[in-house]
Chains A and B, each alone.
Chain A
Amino acid sequence: MFKDLSYRIKTPIALVLVILVATASVSALLVWRGYEDARQSFITQASSLGRALSRTLRPAILHDDTWQAYETLRSPLEREEGPGRDFVLLDKRNLVFAASDPRRFPVQERFNSLPDDFVSRQGGNSHEERVFEDAGDNFIYVLTPVLAEDGVELGHLVQRYDTGLLKPRFAAVAQGMLLASMPALLLLVPLGWLAGKRLAEPLSHLAECLRRVGRESPETIQCEFPGGRDEVSQLAHRFHDMLEELRTKQSLEKHLAQSDRLAALGRLSAGIAHEVNNPLGGMLNAISNHRRAGEVDPRTEKTLSLIERGLTQIRSTVSALLVEARLESRALSPADIEDVRTLIAADAQAKTLSLVWSNNLSEPLPLPSAQVRQILLNLLLNAVHAAPAGGQISLSVEPHAHELALRVDNDGPAIPARRREHLFEPFFGEGEGHGLGLWVTYQLVQQLNGKIEVDSQPGHTRFTVTLPLDENNHVE
């Protein structure tokens, strides 16, 4: 049962319990101590009363004056009347000489409440008062000898107190303790509870986070932990690392799967393109030969043109799909970037977009200009398309030591998640364009051994292309 409880509950409960037990035991100890002190002072009081009374009783017992002894024994009771207190004067033979309550202790009867050997014990200390307590009969007896001038024992004064008399003192001590410990508890219990909660909080937070692993994707799990070097912090740290690794692994897998798919698609489309291109070339050649061969009647000419236009369209589509990499190209110069600007300006203006252009290229780079221009153009046309009317698109071209970074931003809506899964695949567009723009861009970037990344949030979508500046990119 307790095992099933959360540490968030268990720890505060344990702390509160410890506080309660500690307070209770300290209180009990102090109450017991206070009771013992009260009892001791009670006995001390009784002893001094006994000494005073025994001096007063000396002449009475010496002169055999029972009445005087009785009046003396009554005197302490006259001040505060109350049950539970008895004073008995015993003579030398331990017979009752007089008693404050003669009905309970009749004159000349034996005094049976105390063991005889206790009363008449002989020894060095028989001249001192003695205390007798019998757990069984709830009385405290204080025995004081009545001595003659020369120290001869004339009798004994016995004070008998009901232990119930100590109860009010006990109650007073206990009440005092209770009153004192209540405010302490009122302060300590909430403090303990809070401390327990604080202690358990990181642990339960960690458990909560751990529970989410596997149910949710690692990207969405965001867990904040306070710093420190305690066990929970170490655990949290390890958890963070694990989560990070998991994230990397998943994104890697995803990326891998995507590139595999795109590579397969590339192979497939290239294969189809070659297979289509060969007969296509033949067919187009046949048409041109037929035209060159002689007269073609208008009706045939009309048919031939129709076939030629269709075949030309097929060829352009197929060549777009094929992404011809082996185009002859010169090195990329700053002017190429500016050309792209000119090309895009008309479309941007049509949508009244503001264009932010940041071209930091100052000298030619060993990159094929045609491919880079194509990449930039595709990305910018997409951006123009995605940006809302009156919005903004921007381009940043940043050469670094070993790579060139191209960044295209727009402030349009985010790319839907479903679309992002297949962003670089051909014909995945939603009706606009032929759906080959990003496919072609991807193929070009791949051919240049570069990377293309997309970061899309509502109001801001960014495509980043990095192209390495190495010898593998053949530039003439």
Chain B
Amino acid sequence: MKDGIDTRRRRLLAGAMGVAALGMRPVQAAQPVLFGTTPVFLDEQAQFLKTWQNWLESRLGSAVRFVQRASYREIMELLLAGRLDVAWVCGYPYVRHRRQLDLVAVPSYLGEPLYRSYLITPAEDSRTRSFSDLRDRVFAYSDPDSNSGWLVPQAEIKRLGYDPGRFFRKAFFTWSHRKVIEACAAGLAQGGSVDGYIWDTLARQHPELTRATRVVWRSQTYGFPPIVAAPGISGTRVMALREALIGMRHDSAGQRLLAQLNLDGFVAGSASLFDGIEQNWRYLEN
């Protein structure tokens, strides 16, 4: 609870500073906004990122640079070290570093800032109903810092009464949700945990890929991977970014970008959205 109050206070402060900063745009323009992305969304589409960058730059009046790394961990390390201004990360690392990070905005998916984790198998597997059917099989996780692709299945397996570390015959990371789907589609893994939003979006954009997989189980909802600000980022910047992101849905260019992201828009969100993730984390820690 202490965290919640802290964040709220910080956000108020940041808001005040943001208002003040509106008059200081030229100074800000000198420093580009470094925006880290992770595979919580389909961040491998360069054309989309370019368009989004242009849109954000026109809104913020300052340069924006997207920064991509191979894993969630690298982006988190850069963010915590202040080498990035903001980053779109998973709820799980956000929860773990909640004290240091500011919540900028949370994407809204299907009307809520929530998403689920899916358990998928190759399409030809019609037998599997839950994790317990996948015991001693080969399993694909997306990233050890992912909520939907690691934390949720780990907690589920533990809840079923197994040791998550020894449950599968073999488990491996693909370092991206999309590749978890590919691994299952190819039959490399007999099961995989994947971000439900990514699976749904790919089902619309690349149905041939998701058609080779079958969703076996859907988790409860968790807070959607948020956009968070690095420690020590000026409140005005956070404020400006939040305004811009939330404003995307009121702008035709922004709407087009959101349509590409398969999102409704961005909302301010609250830290409590991620309590479910925290509970799983704590559950596994014990």
A residues bordering B, Cβ < 8 Å?
A: 64-67, 70, 98-99, 101-103, 106-108
Tell me how many residues of B have a C-beta within 8 Å of chain A: 14
Among residues of B, the one whose C-beta sits closest to the C-beta of A64 is B172
Q: Which residue of A99, A101, A108 contacts B170 across the interface (Cβ within 8 Å)?
A: A108
* Residue pair A107, B173 in contact (C-beta under 8 Å): no
B249 contacts the other chain (CB 8 A): no
* Residue pair A67, B170 in contact (C-beta under 8 Å): no
For A103, list chain B residues within 8 Å (CB): 186-187
* Residue pair A66, B170 in contact (C-beta under 8 Å): yes
- Some 5 contacts from A to B, beta carbons below 8 A apart, are A66-B172, A70-B183, A99-B188, A108-B138, A108-B169
Shortest beta-carbon distance from A424 to chain B in Å: 118
- How far apart are the CA atoms of A67 and B172 in the complex, in Å? 7
- B residues 170-195 in Cβ contact with A at 8 Å: 170, 172-175, 179, 183, 186-189
- How far apart are the CA atoms of A70 and B169 in the complex, in Å? 17
* Residue pair B169, A67 in contact (C-beta under 8 Å): no
- How far apart are the CA atoms of A106 and B122 in the complex, in Å? 12
For A107, list chain B residues within 8 Å (CB): 138, 170, 188-189
Shortest beta-carbon distance from B188 to chain A in Å: 4
* Residue pair A65, B173 in contact (C-beta under 8 Å): yes
**What 4 A-B pairs come out closest when comparing CB atoms?**
A66-B172, A103-B187, A102-B188, A102-B187
B residues bordering A, Cβ < 8 Å?
A: 138, 140, 169-170, 172-175, 179, 183, 186-189
Among residues of A, the one whose C-beta sits closest to the C-beta of B179 is A67
For A106, list chain B residues within 8 Å (CB): 138, 187
- With most chain A CB atoms within 10 A of its CB, the pick from B170, B172, B175, B183 is B172
* Residue pair B188, A70 in contact (C-beta under 8 Å): yes
For B138, list chain A residues within 8 Å (CB): 66, 106-108
Among residues of A, the one whose C-beta sits closest to the C-beta of B138 is A107
For B140, list chain A residues within 8 Å (CB): 67
- How far apart are the CA atoms of A214 and B150 in the complex, in Å? 113
- How far apart are the CA atoms of A162 and B120 in the complex, in Å? 33
For B173, list chain A residues within 8 Å (CB): 65, 67
* Residue pair A66, B188 in contact (C-beta under 8 Å): yes
Shortest beta-carbon distance from B257 to chain A in Å: 30
- With most chain B CB atoms within 10 A of its CB, the pick from A67, A70, A98, A108 is A67
- How far apart are the CA atoms of A111 and B186 in the complex, in Å? 18
Among residues of A, the one whose C-beta sits closest to the C-beta of B136 is A108
* Residue pair B188, A98 in contact (C-beta under 8 Å): yes
- How far apart are the CA atoms of A42 and B170 in the complex, in Å? 35
- How far apart are the CA atoms of A101 and B186 in the complex, in Å? 7
- How far apart are the CA atoms of A369 and B200 in the complex, in Å? 147
- How far apart are the CA atoms of A164 and B140 in the complex, in Å? 34
- How far apart are the CA atoms of A108 and B169 in the complex, in Å? 8
- How far apart are the CA atoms of A98 and B170 in the complex, in Å? 11
* Residue pair A67, B187 in contact (C-beta under 8 Å): no
For B174, list chain A residues within 8 Å (CB): 67
- How far apart are the CA atoms of A98 and B188 in the complex, in Å? 7
Among residues of B, the one whose C-beta sits closest to the C-beta of A70 is B188
- How far apart are the CA atoms of A70 and B180 in the complex, in Å? 12
For A67, list chain B residues within 8 Å (CB): 140, 172-175, 179, 183, 188
For B179, list chain A residues within 8 Å (CB): 67
For A108, list chain B residues within 8 Å (CB): 138, 169-170
Shortest beta-carbon distance from B74 to chain A in Å: 16
For B189, list chain A residues within 8 Å (CB): 66, 107
* Residue pair A102, B186 in contact (C-beta under 8 Å): yes
- How far apart are the CA atoms of A66 and B169 in the complex, in Å? 13
- How far apart are the CA atoms of A108 and B172 in the complex, in Å? 12
Shortest beta-carbon distance from A68 to chain B in Å: 9
Among residues of A, the one whose C-beta sits closest to the C-beta of B189 is A107
Shortest beta-carbon distance from B45 to chain A in Å: 19
For A66, list chain B residues within 8 Å (CB): 138, 170, 172, 188-189
For B183, list chain A residues within 8 Å (CB): 67, 70
Among residues of A, the one whose C-beta sits closest to the C-beta of B183 is A67
Shortest beta-carbon distance from B51 to chain A in Å: 28
- How far apart are the CA atoms of A70 and B172 in the complex, in Å? 11
* Residue pair A70, B186 in contact (C-beta under 8 Å): yes
